């Protein structure tokens, strides 16, 4: 069975998904683009217009008092009149993600020539001459020795209109969980593809991370993709238009089948991350006479992303924590706003906390809105009482906590000889939660052709199936229904280091609310 067709059939993010109902019988594959549009319009926390500075509106509906007060405090970031975007760099191992990320920092003046010379020497000493640009992003010894990113690298840079946080994900298949964590914090993705002879082919074949990363990114809510065809300077490529067109034409159908509206949400461009060509300024016609499109900085500058609701209920999944004059938690605000002095809950433990300080990048701010990556200093809780996967949440409307939920799953590719049935165990990745889970019951299989539930009782399913099932975890976790908060209701299941399914939470037990 063609898995890509099946994914398209699921249309994980279709308008109907937002209502947690099924896709109507007459939905046709060509409607992917249309439903994508509806999807964004239907998102509860996102609106399909150009991102604007977070603005407090005097109007309010049923929002809680704490959030409301906070949303009305002027955003210090607003004064800069720059929007903020989180960009995750994804793609197969060695595609050039860290090199391109490092080059961006160099071109934006954040790394001086002396540091580059130091990295050149260090890379040479490690017999990794060509990796010196990647060393800007790959900061730990293991990464530098192996020439592979392990942890998601973070950095900031600014263009004319936008402040960017770069999240440099690892491409190696062993580190997909780290990539998932990076992608779950991102608004847009830069998919880096190596054009070098043989490398594009390896990265793109089944089992390569190009496909896996794209599917994960879409599931994790990365709504827009810039596809950079990298290593155009390589002697096997030499800025060849044929090679570029070949890569584009092979990837487009796959992106479409993964749920991306290629016309609206995807942009291709050629670059050399190592040399820095077509990045800050457009490529010289002497090098690449056929390219008339934008350079990378221009493309990043003009990406439009949905605005999030600054007055929604506060939700910040915690990705990390440490001690520093109190307890500091890190994460991305998925909904609502936070202010110094706010009273919040750390869920699922319902621990009441007070916000002592909020840091955005290096700056202390009084208030921060959705989409921001923050460090928040809290009182009322010890660092050891927090785990990643917990959610800093509003008091009035805390995030639901569950040990069980109902979900619609798209089975991608099971391990050899495995069948997906009640009792199947996997690792659940949902926002910053990583938790063992078990499928306790298959409820319904969805016919990929008609998109309707099949009548026959389902006992097991195979690759490509779409199935509604009950999933259980051992300890309480924080989740939302996809229809309420897409970012907190979409997930992946992995077994033995492989992504075997993607899904969305369709229902929570009625007693789930805190």
Per-residue b/e over 430-454, b at no fewer than 16 CB within 10 Å?
bbbbbeebbbeebbbbbbbeebebe
Q: For 234-282, give the secondary structure using H, E and C.
A: CCCCCCCHHHHHHHHHHHHHHHHHCCCCHHHHEEEEECECCCCECCCCC
The residue to which tokens 């964590």 are assigned: 181
| Of positions 86, 149, 185, 272, contacts Mg ion by CB under 5 A | 149
| Of positions 148, 282, 431, 494, contacts ligand GTP by CB under 6 A | 148
Q: Which stretch binds Mg ion (CB under 5 A): 144-152, 281-289, 408-416, 449-457?
A: 144-152
Rounded least distance, CB 371 to ligand GTP, Å: 25
Q: Cβ closer to ligand GTP: 213 or 311?
A: 213
Q: Which stretch binds Mg ion (CB under 5 A): 149-157, 393-401, 450-458, 464-472?
A: 149-157
Q: Which stretch binds ligand GTP (CB under 6 A): 26-34, 51-59, 129-137, 453-461?
A: 129-137
- Is 94 an interacting residue with respect to ligand GTP (CB under 6 A)? yes
- Is 100 an interacting residue with respect to Mg ion (CB under 5 A)? no
| Of positions 23, 136, 170, 467, contacts ligand GTP by CB under 6 A | 170
Q: How far is CA 433 from CA 410, 479, 485, 492, 496, in A?
A: 19, 9, 15, 11, 17
Q: Which stretch binds Mg ion (CB under 5 A): 89-97, 156-164, 259-267, 321-329?
A: 89-97
Rounded Cα distance, 365 and 77, in Å = 8
Question: Residue 58, SS3?
Answer: coil
Rounded least distance, CB 298 to ligand GTP, Å: 18
Rounded least distance, CB 98 to Mg ion, Å: 3
Rounded Cα distance, 244 and 59, in Å = 50
Rounded Cα distance, 250 and 259, in Å = 16
Q: Are 283 and 230 in contact (CB under 8 A)?
A: no
Q: Are 363 and 407 in contact (CB under 8 A)?
A: no
- Is 147 an interacting residue with respect to ligand GTP (CB under 6 A)? yes
Rounded Cα distance, 344 and 364, in Å = 19
CB atoms within 10 A of CB 313: 24
CB atoms within 10 A of CB 285: 10
| Of positions 18, 51, 98, 410, contacts Mg ion by CB under 5 A | 98
List the single partner that 489 binds among ligand GTP, Mg ion, none, CB under 5 to 8 Å by kind. Answer: none
- Is 96 an interacting residue with respect to ligand GTP (CB under 6 A)? yes
x-or-dash string of contact with ligand GTP, 436-475, rule CB under 6 A: ----------------------------------------
Rounded least distance, CB 90 to ligand GTP, Å: 9
Q: Which residues bind ligand GTP (CB under 6 A)?
A: 93-99, 130-131, 134, 147-149, 170-172, 192, 230-231, 233-234, 272-274
């Amino acid at each position: 069975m063609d898995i890509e067709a099946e994914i398209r059939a699921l249309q994980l993010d279709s308008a109907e998904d937002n209502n947690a109902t099924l896709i109507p019988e007459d939905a046709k594959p060509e409607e992917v683009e249309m439903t994508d549009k509806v999807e964004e319009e239907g998102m509860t926390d996102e609106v399909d217009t150009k991102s604007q500075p977070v603005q407090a509106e005097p109007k309010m509906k049923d929002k809680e008092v704490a959030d409301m007060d906070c949303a009305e405090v002027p955003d210090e970031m607003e004064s800069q009149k720059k929007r903020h975007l989180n960009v995750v760099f994804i793609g197969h191992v060695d595609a050039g993600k860290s090199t391109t990320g490092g080059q961006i920092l160099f071109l934006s003046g954040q790394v001086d020539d002396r540091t580059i010379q130091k990295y050149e020497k260090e890379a040479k000493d490690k017999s990794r001459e060509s990796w010196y640009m990647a060393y800007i992003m790959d900061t730990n010894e293991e990464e530098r020795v192996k020439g592979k990113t392990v942890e998601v690298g973070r950095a900031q840079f600014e263009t004319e209109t936008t402040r960017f946080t770069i999240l440099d994900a690892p491409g190696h298949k062993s580190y997909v969980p780290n990539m998932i964590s990076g992608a779950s914090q991102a608004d847009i993705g830069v998919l880096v593809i190596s054009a070098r002879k043989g490398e594009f082919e390896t990265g793109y074949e089944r089992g390569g991370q190009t496909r896996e990363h794209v599917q994960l990114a879409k599931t994790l809510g990365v709504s827009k993709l810039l596809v950079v065809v990298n290593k155009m300077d390589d002697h096997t490529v030499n800025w060849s238009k044929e090679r570029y067109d070949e890569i584009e034409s092979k990837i487009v159908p796959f992106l479409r089948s993964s749920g991306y509206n290629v016309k609206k949400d995807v942009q291709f461009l050629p670059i050399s991350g190592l040399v820095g060509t077509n990045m800050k300024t457009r490529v010289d016609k002497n090098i690449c006479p056929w390219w008339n499109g934008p350079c990378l900085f221009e493309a990043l500058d003009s990406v439009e992303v949905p605005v999030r609701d600054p007055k929604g209920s506060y939700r910040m999944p915690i990705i990390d924590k440490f001690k520093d004059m109190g307890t500091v938690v890190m994460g991305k605000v998925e909904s609502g706003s936070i202010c110094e002095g706010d009273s919040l809950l750390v869920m699922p433990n319902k621990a009441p906390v007070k916000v002592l300080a909020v840091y955005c990048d290096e700056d202390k701010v009084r208030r921060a809105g959705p989409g921001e990556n923050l460090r928040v200093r809290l009182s009322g809780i010890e660092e050891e009482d927090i785990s990643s996967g917990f959610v800093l949440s509003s008091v009035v409307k805390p995030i639901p906590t569950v040990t069980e939920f109902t979900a619609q799953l798209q089975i991608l590719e099971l391990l050899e000889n495995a069948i997906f049935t009640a009792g199947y165990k996997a690792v659940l990745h949902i926002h910053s939660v990583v938790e063992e889970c078990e499928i306790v019951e298959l409820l319904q299989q969805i016919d990929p052709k008609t998109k309707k539930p099949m009548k026959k009782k389902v006992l097991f399913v195979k690759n490509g199936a779409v199935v509604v099932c009950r999933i259980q975890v051992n300890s309480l976790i924080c989740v939302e229904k996809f229809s309420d908060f897409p970012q907190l209701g979409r997930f992946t299941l992995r077994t033995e280091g492989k992504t075997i399914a993607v899904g969305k939470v369709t229902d929570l037990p009625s007693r789930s609310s805190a």
